[in-house]
Amino acid sequence: MRLRTILVLTLAPATLAAQSNAERVLSGAYTWSHDYDLLHQRIELRKFDWDSLAFDGTVKTTALSLRPGLDSLILDMSKWLQVRSVTGTGGAKLDFVHTSDSLVVRLARPAGFRDTVRFTVDYYGKVEQGRGLYFFKEEPGRPHRPQQVYSGGGTDGNPRWIPTFGGPTDKETWELIATVPTRYTVVSNGRLVSDRRVAGGLHTVHWSQERPASTYLISLVVAPLVKLTDRWRKVPLEYYIYPEDSALARPLFGVTPDMMETYTRLTGVPYPWAKYAQTTVADFIGGMENVTATTLVDWLPDRRAYLDRPWFQHSLIPHELAHQWFGDLVTTENWANYWLNEGMAEFMPGQYWGVKQGRHVEDDYYIDEYRKYIQTDARKRMPLATYNSNNVYPKGALVLQMLKKLLGPERFWSAMNRYLTRNAYGTANSDDLRQAVLDATGLNLGWFWSQWIYQAGYPQFAVSATYDSAASALTLTVKQTQVDTAKADSTGPRFTVPLAFTAPVTIRVGTAQGGADVIARRQIDRREQSFRIDGLRGQPTMVVFDDDNSILKSLDFNQPTPWLANQLAREEDLWNRDWAIQQLGQRTADTLAAAALRRAAQTADYDLTRASAAGWLRGFPADVALPALRAAVRDTSSRVRESAVQALGAIGGREAWTIVRAAWKDDPSYEVRAAALTAMAHLSPEGSREAVVLGLRTPSYRDVIQNAAIIAVLQHPDSGLISELDRIAGQQPLATIALAVLAARGDKQAADLIVKRLDDERSWVRAWALEAISRELDPDDALTLLRDALPKVRREDVRAAISAAIDKAVSSKQ
């Protein structure tokens, strides 16, 4: 799974004993017991009804009894689904009890150990919107939003629309057979068996998943889609999109065969399934790695959006594809080891881009993960392997990258190959991965697993250096300052933070006498320790702590400006460069620091470094920063130009204004133009007015320009701009939300306009207005606002709004 916003895991935390986290994960306390083994399910669905969010379902289950005298079998099945009958072999009716979210089927006679059990559940499937299935009706006139229904899958989605075993442990094969009107395509897992026309303008589409997989990967999409085909070796690839997106699909998905080839080569395990489909749907959470049939959000980049390296191609496609190995072929045994799925899937795109575009692009990918992890950890410090861990994506990726640096690529990929082949079509927990490393390399990395996977936090280093010129020796004092708060979380386990992390570290020292740097390798293993480095030829001119950035860490190391400038100029590793840039960026009165940043902004060999240096120049005096920023807005990379435009917006002045306005007018990148508009609105609300109006009318990928304009209106509203906001209220929801924000601030014009939208011809505009009012206004103000409008509000809108509100309340509780 890859979320476009935040991760919400929807299983209630279990009551946990006062066991250590590692013990609990290893002992499988999080793995649900059940006394059968699912072998196969044949899922037949028909009569989808978009008005009542319902369908008819028949699911035939074949399972193996895992205990002597098995007299009943329990499946997970939402209480919303209404069971009509359960029948055994030969059609004999079986007794059943359907309470809460479980279906208990009483078998005709007790089954023996390893006997096969078969029964068929016939039911009326009714769902709450977005719980299990998502129904979207056609809204006449609304672009890019055809009628459709699709499943959400994930950690708890599928028992909400089919009776099955919800946990990841029990793998099975399945068939999915759906009968729908012929104008809809049906996409599901595995191989297409048949697609037959039947009476009534319908067709029956039969898919078969013939290798075992976990049931949370069962998927269904029904929508009017077109299919583009492609191929990797002998595996058919399918890209399903709305007809109007046909021209955008191949540039986006065309990277897939090469990614499959690269992942196959890295892991030594060829893509393990019958086909690979990628299907875009409306309002999706982001991406879901349903086996052989990934579902994705319908944000296809246009040609211009590739100037900004779209997230969709850079991260989302390689993430979900990686899951076909990590997650789908080898699946976490339970959700406490979820990082084995998500950490690996988040790790792999960086490997792909590293192979294709080199080391800097690889570093660049993980710097982004690093920033996300540090923010997440600051909110709540949790280990990777624990139930509902908040950092399985970024920390998982970073820990795996650290492991790869520790082992080197040959040993790392050999271990991954063992992990994948040994557990193929099965499940694994965190210790299975450690075992694979042990078998491939002979290294028992218990210490690594203990501190990085079963415990929380990361080393926060405070380093200081002293040079003894008489002895030609440098002494580094290294302290670890992270604290273990020793507080149990109220929801269960106490997460420990190691007070002393263990890690090998490489220190690189450059000296004034020139010649090769001195490289010192030391072992970190104490809260506080000193390393003496002898044999320097002269005064140090640069000291790099953790030369290849092999440790996930924070670093506090106060250094003379020339050391930092040297490091920035000479360093290969992007994290180390970025660290040096940050130190230099805070020395805004230091001309040497300014010179180093100016040089990096203009001449560094990688755009992230140039962008970062340009960004930090914002704190320096205008005459120091401007020459470099003037050059940076002409950089070939849009992220450098964007960063320069943002810095110019902060610096201000006549020249900054001129440059930023030119970027708004002429830059080909959406992101740069959006940043330029924001900068202009900040520098001169009056002078930017015309540009803001134009921005409101300018289409761009994911509305970045329109959104920048909307935010500019919120910062400096006037009546003309508010009318302009209202003009685009039908195009995207943020404009309506902005009207509600203004209404909440007491703006009468905005209040009148948003009330008027409650009676709009277009159903989605009415829905956005109602939602924006309930979201942005306090309830009393909303009521006052709605008093005169209420008779005009349509019944169906109220129903939809109430159900959305309940949905939100429920998910915020989980």
Rule CB under 5 A: say whether 769 interacts with Zn ion.
Answer: no
Do residues 685 and 324 make contact, with C-beta atoms less than 8 angstroms apart? no
Encoded one letter per residue, x for contact with Zn ion by CB under 5 A and - for no contact, window 2-41 reads: x---------------------------------------
Q: CB-wise, 2 or 309, nearer to Zn ion?
A: 2
Q: Could you say which DSSP state residue 452 is in?
A: I
Going edge to edge, which strands form the sheet with 220-223? 133-136, 148-151, 220-223, 185-188
Q: CB-wise, 266 or 340, nearer to Zn ion?
A: 340
Rule CB under 5 A: say whether 218 interacts with Zn ion.
Answer: no
Residues sharing a CB contact under 8 Å with residue 371, sequence separation 6 or more, in sequence order: none
Q: CB-wise, 343 or 383, nearer to Zn ion?
A: 343
CB of 699 to Zn ion, least distance (A): 30
Q: Which of 165, 160, 156 lies closest to 80, judged by CA? A: 160
Residues sharing a CB contact under 8 Å with residue 607, sequence separation 6 or more, in sequence order: 635, 637, 639, 640
Q: Which of 765, 705, 779, 704 lies closest to 737, judged by CA? A: 765
CB atoms within 10 A of CB 234: 6
Give 671: exposed, middle or buried? Use CB within 10 Å, 0-12, 13-18, 19+: buried
Q: CB-wise, 2 or 404, nearer to Zn ion?
A: 2
CB of 392 to Zn ion, least distance (A): 9
Q: Which of residues 1, 601, 742, 744 is near Zn ion by CB under 5 A?
A: 1
CB of 216 to Zn ion, least distance (A): 12
Q: CB-wise, 170 or 342, nearer to Zn ion?
A: 342
Q: Could you say which DSSP state residue 450 is in?
A: I
CB of 2 to Zn ion, least distance (A): 5
Sign of the torsion angle spanned by Cα atoms 427, 217, 404, 555:
negative
Within residues 576-615, the interface with Zn ion by CB under 5 A covers: none
Rule CB under 5 A: say whether 340 interacts with Zn ion.
Answer: no
CB of 160 to Zn ion, least distance (A): 20
Q: CB-wise, 5 or 15, nearer to Zn ion?
A: 5
CB of 123 to Zn ion, least distance (A): 30
Rule CB under 5 A: say whether 728 interacts with Zn ion.
Answer: no
Give the C-alpha distances (Å, rounded to integers) separating 135 from 76, 177, 218: 22, 18, 17
Rule CB under 5 A: say whether 177 interacts with Zn ion.
Answer: no
Q: CB-wise, 344 or 509, nearer to Zn ion?
A: 344
Q: CB-wise, 430 or 688, nearer to Zn ion?
A: 430
Rule CB under 5 A: say whether 785 interacts with Zn ion.
Answer: no
Task: Measure the CA–CA gap between 121 and 110, rounded to whole angstroms.
Answer: 19
Q: Which range binds Zn ion by CB under 5 A, 196-204, 342-350, 640-648, 765-773?
A: 342-350
Q: Two tokens at 645? A: 């435009």
CB of 286 to Zn ion, least distance (A): 8
Cα 780 to chain centroid, rounded: 37
Q: Which range binds Zn ion by CB under 5 A, 252-260, 294-302, 335-343, 564-572?
A: 335-343
Task: Measure the CA–CA gap between 351 and 413, rounded to whole angstroms.
Answer: 11
Task: Measure the CA–CA gap between 342 and 322, rounded to whole angstroms.
Answer: 9
Q: Which amino acid is at 153?
A: G
Q: Which range binds Zn ion by CB under 5 A, 33-41, 334-342, 394-402, 724-732?
A: 334-342
Q: CB-wise, 57 or 286, nearer to Zn ion?
A: 286
Calculate helix-pair angle for 763-776, 795-813, nearest 10 degrees. Answer: 50
Q: Which range binds Zn ion by CB under 5 A, 1-9, 274-282, 707-715, 782-790?
A: 1-9
CB of 390 to Zn ion, least distance (A): 15
Assign 3-class secondary structure to 25-50: HHCCCCCCCCCEEEEEEEEEEEEEEC
Rule CB under 5 A: say whether 397 interacts with Zn ion.
Answer: no
Q: Which range binds Zn ion by CB under 5 A, 340-348, 479-487, 750-758, 769-777?
A: 340-348
CB of 712 to Zn ion, least distance (A): 35
* Most distant CA pair in the chain, distance: 96
Q: Which of 266, 267, 271 lies closest to 232, judged by CA? A: 271
Rule CB under 5 A: say whether 543 interacts with Zn ion.
Answer: no
Residues in the chain: 814
Encoded one letter per residue, x for contact with Zn ion by CB under 5 A and - for no contact, window 343-382 reads: --x-------------------------------------
Q: CB-wise, 295 or 643, nearer to Zn ion?
A: 295
CB of 4 to Zn ion, least distance (A): 12
CB atoms within 10 A of CB 655: 15
Cα 711 to chain centroid, rounded: 25
Q: What 3-state class would DSSP assign to 561?
A: helix
Rule CB under 5 A: say whether 403 interacts with Zn ion.
Answer: no
Torsion of CA 785, 787, 793, 798, to 10 degrees: 80
Rule CB under 5 A: say whether 316 interacts with Zn ion.
Answer: no
Task: Measure the CA–CA gap between 373 and 378, rounded to whole angstroms.
Answer: 8
CB of 269 to Zn ion, least distance (A): 18
Q: How many residues bind Zn ion (CB under 5 A)?
A: 4
The residues binding Zn ion (CB under 5 A) are 1-2, 342, 345
